[in-house]
Amino acid sequence: MIRSELNPEVLTSAPRADAPFTTDAALVTEAAAGDRRAIAEIWVRYRNLVRSVLLATLGFDQDIDDLIQEVFLGLFRAVGQVRDGAALPAILSRIAVRRAGMALRKRRVRALTSLLPWTQLPEVEVAPPDFDDRLALTTLYGLLDRVKQRARLAFLLHHVHGMDANDVADALGVSLATAKRDIADGRKRLIQLARGEPRLRRFLPPVQEDE
């Protein structure tokens, strides 16, 4: 049985190297049975994804770490009801989107146009190899707050976190056609913005006639 609160020792402890959690489905099954290693492994695998979704919606927030734990707590409370463990990234993203919406309503945030620059989003495990690339990465994330919220989320989930369009649709609670359109819109808008940034031009595809 999943406990009503997250134990920091469980979350910060590294799973054993021989832990048999090769798939998300196996993780969900063992977590539902109360396996502490499975709970810790879910946290390790997907905390950056959850942070990215929350920051994409809320911008930088001093309570972001608490919100991340609330998202995982929401998952663990209902993990026994998860039918498709392979959909774990989409499930966590959906919970994060809903939690972010609750936070926005609670704090009476008028709009998302005042998001701070995304210099802290998402966490990148491997740093770019040189200073110019780091500047380019910072510039890129600084442009993301100028992309509409849903298109930005769709772009991140698909291009940064590797979700397919079906999982993006599930995470955002929209149809597959809408998810595909949002992914395309987010990419198109970001490319348009990036063409005005000298540091990013070398990473961009050739200009198309319809752009």
102 confidence band (pLDDT: 50, 70, 90)? confident
Share of the chain above pLDDT 70, in %: 69
**Measured distance CA(50)–CA(64) in Å, rounded:** 10
Q: What is the mean pLDDT of residues 152-173?
A: 86
Distance, C-alpha 178 to centroid of its chain:
19
Helices (H), the chain: 8-12, 24-32, 36-58, 64-77, 88-107, 131-144, 149-155, 165-172, 176-194
- Of 38, 42, 40, give the one whose Cα is nearest residue 14: 40
Per-residue pLDDT at 106 exceeds 70: no
Residue 141 tokens read as 């994330």
Q: What is the pTM of this model?
A: 0.62
Long-range contacts of 119-123 (CB under 8 A, 24+ apart): 120/55, 120/60, 121/51, 121/52, 121/55, 121/56, 121/60, 122/48, 122/51, 122/52, 122/55, 122/156, 122/160, 123/48, 123/51, 123/52
- Low-confidence winner among 57-66, 96-105, 116-125, 150-159 (lowest mean pLDDT): 116-125
Q: What is the reported pLDDT for 122? A: 45
97 confidence band (pLDDT: 50, 70, 90)? confident
* Residue matched to tokens 């966490």: 123
